[in-house]
Amino acid sequence: MRWKSHVRFGGRARETYRPKGRQRALARPYLANDAVTRCRQRVQQDTVGHRGWKDDPLYGVRKLFLMGAERLDERGWERLEAALDAGDPDDAIRDCWVAKERVRDVYLTDDLVLAASRLDEAIAWCIEEESGPELRRLAKLLRRWKTEILAHHTTGASNGPVEAMNLLIKQVKRSGRGFRSFKNYRLRILLAGGRRRRETQSATSIRTRRPSFVA
């Protein structure tokens, strides 16, 4: 959705943020998670010949693939290892998952030099472990957006406000059961996401019914 040439809504993987007087920064990219998901879907099709079903090993742990390694408990590790052993014969998903964790390590430090070193290691891993097109695509994207990714450590940019606006737009669309007029759709979004009323502004008085016992 585009309202003006410089305003975009719905951006995720390539959503950027340019503070005034600073360089452009890539805000918390979803590139690594997207690579894991694409790889899982491809391996699923190659091994069982259909999309993920409830009883498929890879489909059952699809959310665990996107979680950080430090957030997995013992049960989560067991489920993850069992799914990879059963549905990932060539270790393609395992390599993508390791690449995802290496990309996350870039954001787990505030040191710009260390972050650059970790990013180079992630790119090298994607190039060395050529198990599928997902890692090659991820390495290409990381090289292309290297400057913007590292700018996060100097600007502190975050795509949190963009994600919040995406959620708000989806809620407005669901509550309205869709909009035929873009003008009305835009107006409802502006009303839902506009500024709150000032606390000093007096509320509108409500006219109530007089009690029956009043003469």
Q: How far apart are CA 70 and CA 85, in angstroms?
A: 21
Confidence of residue 195 (pLDDT cuts 50, 70, 90): low
HEC string of 59-111 equals HHCCCHHHCCHHHCCHHHHHHHHHHHHHHCCCCHHHHHHHHHHHHHHHHCCCC
Q: What is the pTM of this model?
A: 0.67
pLDDT at residue 17 is higher than 70: no
pLDDT at residue 7 is higher than 50: no
Mean pLDDT of the 119-138 span:
86
Structural element, H or E, at residue 144 = helix 133-144
- Give the per-residue pLDDT at 143: 92
- Give the per-residue pLDDT at 1: 42
pLDDT at residue 203 is higher than 80: no
3-state DSSP helix/strand/coil % of the chain, to nearest 5? 60, 5, 40
Q: Which amino acid is at 164?
A: A
Contact 173, 179 (CB under 8 A): yes
pLDDT digits (tens, 9 = 90+) for 86-117: 999 999 999 999 999 999 999 888 899 999 99
Arithmetic mean of pLDDT over the chain: 79
Backbone φ, ψ for residue 68 (5° rounding): -70, 150
